[in-house]
Structure 1
Amino acid sequence: MTIEIMSVDERPINASELMKLYREAGWWEERSKQDIQKVIDQGDSVGAWSKGVLIGFARAVSDGEFRAYIEDVVIHKEFQKSGTGTKLVSTLLDELSHIDVISLFCEKELIPFYEKNGFKFSETQYIMHRRKGT
């Protein structure tokens, strides 16, 4: 099975195909195709394809120089634990190689996955959230 991993600049990602991948993962039911297209158009994104079907996606939000934050790493269920996610994140990190600090937050069970790409757990930093309207 051949998996192609490329940046959105090398191979554009269609909002409909990303929406389908999100839905298969049980993510972002409330997001519209227009909102997803905005996400694709802003920042750095990479995709993974198998037989022409988008099976993985990751993106970064960045100031373009000093800081970047990795978001929305999603892999189709059938391709999880195949190494595709690690390669996807690695490709995104290559795209961000000029950035000084790259951060992310994840669930505890995903820490070993991100450690494969050089991320280190921090006991000195805390995640703060604020949602619109609260």
Structure 2
Amino acid sequence: MTFKYTIETDPNKIDYKQAAKILEKVGLISEPNENKQEQAFKNSDVTVFIKDEQRIIGLGRALSDGVSQAAIYNIAVDPDYQKQHVGHTIILYLLEQLKGLNIILYTHPQTLTLYEKYGFRRNKTAFAHFQAGTAEDLQWMEEEGFFLPEGFRFNDEKGRY
């Protein structure tokens, strides 16, 4: 299959109104604030946008120290373009740019098996401390299954802490 879309990696050549709409459409942000998204992408070390002519149809970004650690964020594909290798192209591009680094990825519980196909493994010792969202955002994340129950311990941890 030939990939028929354009890959753009320069965050200065992007319409952030479109980028924010995609992030909102797939549920990664609750309101499409294009200024915040522009700031987030321009402050990232690696960005990738997939375009169908002038329309942004997918995007992703990563932060990195360039030495040993990196984190991938905001992988999103417009639902109208899913199952066309757009997400696959985004992931492969980011992984190539971050080659040789330890990479963490924060994702929706429904996409866990997707990332396992790219060599990601679930981490038993990760924590998240969310300060930017509203109480409603945190409640949604709880209901969607982003968090283990408060006080949860794996069997091999019980009695140790």
1:46-125 aligned within 5 A: 46-98=48-100, 100-122=101-123, 124-125=124-125
Give the distance between the partners of 1:132 and 1:47, measured in 2 at CA.
25
Q: Structure 2: state its 5+ residue gaps.
A: 136-161
On the 8 A contact 2:21/2:32 being kept in 1, the answer is no
Amino acid at match of 2:75: V
SS in 1 for 2:13: coil
Larger Rg: 2
SS in 2 for 1:106: coil
1:70 CA drift (Å): 0.6
Give the distance between the partners of 1:33 and 1:109, measured in 2 at CA.
26
1:6 CA drift (Å): 3.4
Q: Which runs of 4+ in 1 moved over 4 A?
A: none
1:23 CA drift (Å): 3.1
1:132 CA drift (Å): 4.6
- Bigger RCO of structures 1 and 2 (CA < 8 A, at least 6 apart): 1
Question: Alpha carbon RMSD of aligned pairs, Å?
Answer: 2.4
More strand by share: 1
Q: TM-score, normalised by structure 2?
A: 0.69
Q: 1:26 to 1:130 in 2, by over 3 A?
A: closer
Partner residue, 2:130 = 130
SS in 2 for 1:21: helix
| CA-to-aligned-CA distance 1:62-99 (integer Å, 9 cap, x gap) | 2232211111111000112222111111111112225x
More helix by share: 2
Q: Structure 1: state its 5+ residue gaps.
A: none
Question: How many residues matched?
Answer: 131
Q: TM-score, normalised by structure 1?
A: 0.81
